[in-house]
Structure 1
Amino acid sequence: MLSEVGSNVLKFYDYFLKRTDPRVRDYPLMQSPVEMTVILLGYVFLVLHVGPRFMANRKPFHLNTAMIFYNFFMVAYNAYIVYEFLMAGWGTTYTWRCDLCDPSSSPQALRMVRAAWLFYFSKYVELLDTMFFVLRKKHSQVTFLHIFHHSVMPWTWWWGITLTPVGGMGSFHALVNACVHVIMYSYYGLAAAGPRFQKYLWWKKYMTAIQLIQFVLVSVHISQYYFMEKCDYQVPIFIHLIWIYGMFFFVLFSNFWIQAYIRGKRLPVSNEDKPKQNGTTTLTEAVVVPNGKHLENGTVHYTNGFAHNGKVKEV
């Protein structure tokens, strides 16, 4: 009985591999879903269990230099992805309506394949976002929304670009997501660069709104499929999945918007990773000012006592 089940599983696996798009088989991490699944399961286990235990009795790492390099690298990487998507169809031949996948080996079709793989690979690079949170002990940032988004995106995109001809209206959400990441990582990079750049971060409050606009654009664009008289998109199941994905994340980010900006609530934080104004990180050393006071990111500490009713009592 078990041998028969195993045989059927292997037959299905072989049938599945034969159905994969031959144009992406030679790209890294595209030969089998096993490597991709192992990496993502390892990511979840690492950031939820191994990382927090490793950091339990350690001070947060100060990774400003690494974060600046990483964030501005991601700005350049996502800007290149946007350019490639535009040149591969979205800025040249696509109608932005019922755009079908091109299964050929034409230069433009192969360029779309490469752009799609670059976007897919960027989802693995983005896993470092969570690693920075863990090493800096920003545990309040490692939320369900964060983990779910970072682990599901590469997993679903692997199936998307292996089982369907790459491109068409099903790749619009990748173009929009890459545009949003150019903005998002620009903000992160400037925030990590230090207090002197805070004056350039006045648009922090619009970050969640930009995310919401992203999901609205994706959902509206993909919804066209349901109102067209005829659209012979080759794999319609991915149209449905993209619509569900867009609406699901719109609901999650809307809930965050309501809790954070309408009800004035924030995610629970501990003293060690309390968010600083405009996303700046804690200074490594206190800044000394007259009268024995120390300023640490705007917080006043008294060196020789504590304040009570406007007076300083000696310890």
Structure 2
Amino acid sequence: METNTGNNTKWMSIGEFYHFVFTELADPRTSSYVLIADPLPGLGILAFYIYFVNSLGPRFMKNREPFNLQRTIYVYNTLQASLSFFMFVEILSAMWWNRYSFRCEPVDYSTSPHALRVARMVYIFFIAKMTELIETVFFVLRKKQKQVTFLHCYHHAVMPMVTWGATKYFAGGHGTFIGLINSFVHIIMYLYYLQAGMGYRNLWWKKYITMMQLGQFLLFFVHFAQLWFIECDFPKWTALLITPQVLFFIYLFSKFYMKSYKKNDEKDNLPGYQTEGIRENGESIRKRNVALTQRSNVFDGQIGDRKVIKNG
């Protein structure tokens, strides 16, 4: 990297550039948090995650029976629902309830109790995204490899990177709106997973979760795109990074919605094509006058060919 000092030109070494980007530019309040000071450990986890769920895991499970993880998944969904509820209430009460502005909210880099509380919540949101990697591992261990899709892996890999950057450089302010809305959507989503896992029938509202996910992405786009047109003391470069990602997610989730629900809705409107029942654990679905047996996964909201993709 080249820098100019008067008439002299100085070249930064790779080490100096690394220190400049990941130390001098960083938010010092979060530098002591686990996985935040250096990007390499987190990137290593994500690299191993991609390798395991797409290569190592399937080869490990090739000649093995699927693991029975029903109780483990129930506990996991309960913990995630509780964590999402905690984050939603905390972000709402500490930031967005009569305090923050949807239009422009700079980061408070001070060490006041409130500013540190906000920074901790941004970090907790990052940790929550890291823990969601476990879901794909469950798929692999249960030999549900068809659910390890590009959308699923891409989404689960990108969100930790985005939230790591937020924790590292701007822990608070405008970006916390993502945590607020995403946590609310996750509350609903994990409640759905819990109900489906307990064998509740006719969970008609599953497709509306996907609609909520699409809605949140639209809100995120508006929230960050407006930074291009207004004066706001929040890094405008974040809009250049986040809005393309949000548009890509809108495309992927819209494509999934049309494939999973639109066609099935058309079938459901045909005479004699109605769901009669869903067995506990989603082992099969019986359709009236139609001989159809499908495997499904209640952990990630899938029933037959219908699935609620994790966001967040």
Name 2:190's counterpart in structure 1: 185
1:49 aligns with 2:55: yes
- Matched with 2:8 is none
CA shift in 2, pair 1:214/1:279, >3 Å: farther
Q: For 1:24 and 1:297, how far apart are their aligned partners in 2?
A: 47
CA 1:116 to 1:55, structure 2 compared with 1: closer, same or farther past 3 Å?
Answer: same
Unmatched runs of 5 consecutive residues or more in structure 1: 1-6, 266-276, 284-295, 299-315
Q: Deviations over 1:218-251 (max 9, x none)?
A: 11222332343x2232x11112222222211011
- Aligned residue for 1:74? 80
Aligned ranges 1:222-301 → 2 under 5 Å: 222-228=224-230, 230-233=231-234, 235-264=235-264, 281=281
Give the alignment partner of residue 38 of structure 2, picking from 17, 32, 39.
32
| Bigger shift: residues 10-19 or 130-139 | 10-19
* Residue of structure 2 in register with 1:63 after alignment: 69
Give the drift of 1:279: 9.4
- Given the alignment, which residue of 157, 172, 178 partners 2:177? 172
Give, in whole Å, the separation in 2 of the partners of 1:280 and 1:74.
21
- Please point out which of 13, 18, 38 is paired with 2:24: 18
**TM-score in terms of structure 2 length:** 0.79
Residue identity (%): 40
* Other-structure match for 2:216: 214
- The structure-2 alpha-carbon separation of the partners of 1:14 and 1:223, relative to structure 1 and needing over 3 Å to count, comes to closer
Task: Using the TM superposition, give the Cα deviation of residue 99 of structure 1 relative to its aligned residue in structure 2, in angstroms.
Answer: 1.0
The Cα of 1:83 is off from its aligned counterpart by 1.5
Q: CA deviation at 1:170?
A: 1.9
Letter in 1 for 2:209: M
Q: Is the 8 A contact 2:105 2:233 kept in 1?
A: no
Q: 1:145 to 1:108 in 2, by over 3 A?
A: same
Question: What is aligned with 2:274?
Answer: none
Report how far residue 88 of structure 1 moved: 2.3
Runs of 4+ in structure 1 over 4 Å off: 277-280
Q: Tell whether the 8 Å contact from 2:91 to 2:121 is kept in structure 1 after alignment.
A: yes
Alpha carbons 2:77, 2:193 under 8 Å: kept? yes
- What residue in structure 2 maps to residue 154 of structure 1? 160
Structure 2: runs of 5 or more not aligned? 1-11, 266-276, 284-292, 296-312
Structure ID, larger Rg:
1
- 1:169 Cα deviation from its structure 2 partner: 1.4
The residue aligned with 2:117 is 111
Q: Which moved more, 1:152-161 or 1:125-134?
A: 152-161
Number of residues paired by the alignment?
264
CA contact (8 A) 1:215 1:249 kept: yes
Q: Cα RMSD over matched residues?
A: 2.3
- Give the Cα separation in 2 of the matches to 1:118 and 1:257: 30
The answer as to whether partners of 1:68 and 1:190 remain within 8 angstroms in 2 is no
Per-residue CA deviation, residues 151-196 of structure 1 (Å, 9 max, x unaligned), is 11112221222123x2111221121111111111111122122x2x
